[in-house]
Amino acid sequence: MMNCCGLITVQKEPVPLQSIEVELEVKDHVATVVSTLKYQNKEDKPVEAVFVFPLPGDAAVCHFSAVIGQKEIVAEVKEKQEAREEYDDSLSSGQQAFLLEESEQSPDIFSMKVGGLAPGESASIRLEYVTELAVQADDGLRFCLPAVLNPRYQPQGSEGASVQVFSVPASLVPYTLCFCGRLFSPRPICKVESSCSLEPLQYLNTDQTQATVKLAAGHKFDRDVELVIYYKDAHQPTAVVEAGQTSAETGTLMGDPVVMVSLYPEFPQSVMSSVASCGEFVFLMDRSGSMGSSMNSKERHQTCIMSDRDTLLLLLKSLPMGCYFNIYSFGYNYEHIFPQSVEYNQKTMEEALKKVEEMEANLGGTEILKPLKHIYSQRCIPNQPQQLFVFIDGGVVNTKKVLCLVKKNSSCHSCFSFGIGEGASSALINGLAKEGGGHAQFITGTDRMQPKVIQSLRFALQPAVEDISVTWGLPKGVSVTVLSPPITSIFQGQRSLIYGQLTGQGRPQRGSVTVKYSLAGRPSQNQLHFSLKPAEDTGLTVHRLAARTLIRSLEMEDRELRGRQDGGIKEKVMQLSVQSGVSSCFTAFIAVNKADGKVIQGPLVRRNVPTAGEYLSQNKLKQIFCHPSSLDVIGCKEATAPKQPPRDPLLQLVSLQKASGCWILDPDLAAALGKTSEEVEKSKPAMVTSEVWATILALIWLHGFKMDAKEEWELLAMKAASWLRAQNGRNLIHKC
């Protein structure tokens, strides 16, 4: 038996990627990432290395260069087909060439070609991008360096070839990762959490506004490198004005100053203490084969689908009386519990929970487009705003088509999305929330799904924010062109970003931006005053993020109009991409080494560089995607039903709650409370009904034993308290 060693793929072919070095710099909520990839051809013939890899879906790739020997070749942004032809022509003529392009179907997948590496030659590739860090529901800022690119499901009959990804077990990944980060903030950095092992946070100054973070020694490149950064007083609105590029023409995006405004609306406590009692809640659950895998390595018995079932239990118990709901699940096909959404009551809740308990990860691939179309085809229920909750553990090839559908229907619903486990597509998860006017969350590592989902349910139950408008107060002669899409949703404490191109004279002075909206039927507003003086040491970060924001909006508009009219949108995107140096789906980075005049002799041998991940053979993938009934077979051995662990005491108690919010005094409740039936019944005051007493005991148990999980049960406890008040329970408690 031959030992596997050296730079090899699963097919035992050598590859030239040796190492990846990543430098992260975070300034407040903006991250700049520089990746250096070192290649070396150890073969006796010239090679072309092809590396398909993920990046954050909203990243603005702004630099691509290669160093061969002592010579640096900086890539240019060109129209994609032109760049491809130049790359092919260069290789045909014996020159070295490098090509970087974004997938036309999913903006978080990139492919890089390193062509013309002579035998024994090394090349160092530098890739730089900037991105905004998403705000989590607990106010942390999430950075993720994707390490796992799961095979993307491609629907049958869809156009274009699937991205070819070569995945291998982490132990066989033939390259190393070095990662370090520097954090800068106007506010103290409280802590940094990660699913990976980190060295202790090192502060660089006494006020703790600068720090360094590094991966602990021995890190395996088998998972995403996820950091969640927490600042003190995170909800501080800010505005950064960045000077234009001196070499760019005035009047263009790159030539004029650009302002980036971050707003954190705060709602009155009187409004936040109430929750909506209406709405149509639609839960769309991923039941593809991969959902049968473990949530994390420490709790192998807890699979993703099991966690989904527990989450649905908490969601259904937390819904208000008077709302409507339905549950869809999808894989290769999709199912729904009710033909259409039904009113929430004890009967429908019990029927739904019975079906939820039967859910398994057995529906095949990841055809999310089909159930979405069906959901949107249903008639809207009057005075019941639709709230869509989407749970998915991977990605799809047709990401942009899915997002277009969500945006098309965004006027009639809000979309809350959840990426489960390693490899969930950030472009899909963040895009669903952005285009659907909701909020996105990622559940990775040892995260529990339930508190994050209930936090999002809180957002969905907030009073509706309507009639949103943005007005600017600027000095005479100064005007602004807003580059961001209109704000369609506002949630308590969640960030709203606005980019604007400033033109005219009169700087430096002061300006303001005001967001007005109607909250619970009352006019409200949030305002920020800021200096128009450009900040120092920002480079062109704000301009590139603004360009990326405008490019993404134009790409979406182009896709919506495709087949009807072009309108020159593609040309606008290409022009903006070339001027700003930011990638788009219509352009690519191309670099050709013309300096030394050397000609590469002989035909190039293509080597596909594998991506870290759980390896599935091509035949097995076909079996899984094409034959849903065969999904019990994953990897190299047959999946067996995991042994059911004892039910969590909290979930046991929650499962007994009625839709109205009350509990029943019976032996099941006594067992959940750790008492005998005689003990709970004997303590009941004579003037208190059994249901009231049972509900009081359940609430006492929750507050006494499960305060650490309060986020998970607080909504259902509020419903129980409301039920008690309706029964004059408060007076009865005092009598007790």
Contact present, 41 and 15 (Cβ < 8 Å): no
Looking at 461, 489, 509, the residue that finishes a domain is 461
How is 276-318 classified by DSSP, letter by letter? -S--EEEEEEE-SGGGGSBS-SS-TT-BHHHHHHHHHHHHHHH
Query: What is the Cα Rg of the chain in Å?
Result: 27
Tell which residue, 271, 521, 282, 508, has the closest CA to residue 384. Answer: 282
Q: With respect to residue 122, please indicate whether it lies within any of the assigned structural domains.
A: no
pLDDT higher than threshold 90 for residue 18: no
pLDDT higher than threshold 70 for residue 417: yes
By mean pLDDT, which of 25-34, 382-391, 555-564 is the weakest? 555-564
3-state secondary structure of 504: strand
Do both 431 and 531 map to the same domain?
no
d(CA 458, CA 718): 12
Give mean pLDDT, residues 133-156.
73
Instruction: Give φ, ψ of 490 to 5 degrees.
Output: -135, 130
pLDDT higher than threshold 60 for residue 641: no
Domain that holds residue 252: 238-265+471-578
**Residue with structure tokens 């290789």?**
91
pLDDT higher than threshold 60 for residue 640: no
Contact present, 676 and 362 (Cβ < 8 Å): no
d(CA 523, CA 467): 9
Q: Cis check for the bond before 685: say yes or no (omega within 30 of 0).
A: no
Looking at 461, 489, 523, the residue that finishes a domain is 461
| Chain-centroid distance, C-alpha 572 | 28
CATH number, position 295: 3.40.50.410
Give mean pLDDT, residues 666-685.
92
Give mean pLDDT, residues 670-684.
91
pLDDT tens sequence across 227-246: 999 999 888 899 999 999 98
pLDDT tens sequence across 285-312: 999 888 888 776 555 567 889 999 999 9
d(CA 312, CA 568): 46
pLDDT higher than threshold 80 for residue 636: no
**Whole-number pLDDT of residue 507:** 58
**Identity of residue 105:** Q
Which residues have a Cβ under 8 Å from the Cβ of 622 and sit 6 or more positions away? none
3-state secondary structure of 436: coil
Backbone φ/ψ region at 657: left (φ over 0), alpha (ψ -120 to 50), beta: beta
Classify residue 732 by its DSSP letter: H
In 17-121, beta strands by DSSP E: 17-27, 30-40, 47-54, 60-68, 71-74, 76-79, 96-102, 109-117
Percent of the chain with pLDDT over 90: 49
Cβ density class 424-454: b for 16+ within 10 Å, e for less = bbbbbbbbbbbbbbbbbbbbbbebbbbbbbb
Classify residue 8 by its DSSP letter: B
pLDDT tens sequence across 570-605: 999 999 999 999 999 999 999 998 766 566 665 666
pLDDT tens sequence across 449-483: 899 999 899 888 888 788 999 999 999 889 999 99
**Number of domain units in the chain:** 3
Q: With respect to residue 142, please indicate whether it lies within any of the assigned structural domains.
A: no
**Residue with structure tokens 């094409």?**
626
d(CA 199, CA 206): 19
Which residues have a Cβ under 8 Å from the Cβ of 530 and sit 6 or more positions away? 238, 239, 241, 259, 261, 510, 511, 512, 513
Do both 313 and 347 map to the same domain?
yes
Classify residue 396 by its DSSP letter: B
Give mean pLDDT, residues 137-150.
78
Share the mean pLDDT of the chain: 83
Tokens of 379: 């008639």
CATH number, position 509: 2.60.40
The four Cα atoms 124, 125, 131, 137 give a dihedral, to 10 degrees, of: -60
Q: With respect to residue 633, please indicate whether it lies within any of the assigned structural domains.
A: no
Contact present, 195 and 295 (Cβ < 8 Å): no
What is the greatest pairwise CA distance in the chain?
98
Pairing of the two strands 71-74 and 60-68: antiparallel
Element (H, E) at 723: helix 710-726
Beta-carbon count within 10 A of 373 CB: 12
Give mean pLDDT, residues 28-39.
91
pLDDT higher than threshold 70 for residue 341: yes
Do both 530 and 502 map to the same domain?
yes
Looking at 578, 602, 624, the residue that finishes a domain is 578
d(CA 119, CA 15): 12
**Whole-number pLDDT of residue 610:** 55
d(CA 622, CA 690): 57
Do both 381 and 314 map to the same domain?
yes
Give mean pLDDT, residues 389-400.
86
Do both 303 and 246 map to the same domain?
no
Do both 253 and 290 map to the same domain?
no
Q: With respect to residue 520, please indicate whether it lies within any of the assigned structural domains.
A: yes
Do both 346 and 376 map to the same domain?
yes
Do both 341 and 487 map to the same domain?
no
d(CA 585, CA 105): 8
Element (H, E) at 240: strand 238-242
d(CA 261, CA 497): 6
Start-to-end CA distance of the chain, whole Å, equals 77
How is 317-351 classified by DSSP, letter by letter? HHSPTT-EEEEEEESSSEEESSSS-EE-SHHHHHH
pLDDT tens sequence across 41-97: 887 888 888 878 888 888 999 999 988 888 889 999 999 999 999 999 999 888 889
Tell which residue, 504, 469, 499, 503, has the closest CA to residue 482. Answer: 499
Q: With respect to residue 622, please indicate whether it lies within any of the assigned structural domains.
A: no
Instruction: Give φ, ψ of 247 to 5 degrees.
Output: -85, -10
Do both 333 and 475 map to the same domain?
no
Do both 383 and 282 map to the same domain?
yes
Q: With respect to residue 611, please indicate whether it lies within any of the assigned structural domains.
A: no
By mean pLDDT, which of 168-177, 186-195, 416-425, 526-535 is the weakest? 168-177
Do both 540 and 678 map to the same domain?
no
How is 154-189 classified by DSSP, letter by letter? --TT-SSPPP---EE-GGG--SEEEEEEEEE-SS-E
Q: With respect to residue 287, please indicate whether it lies within any of the assigned structural domains.
A: yes
Tell which residue, 360, 376, 369, 309, has the closest CA to residue 333. Answer: 369
Between 495 and 137, the higher pLDDT residue: 495
pLDDT tens sequence across 107-123: 888 888 888 888 888 88
Q: With respect to residue 509, please indicate whether it lies within any of the assigned structural domains.
A: yes
Do both 451 and 508 map to the same domain?
no
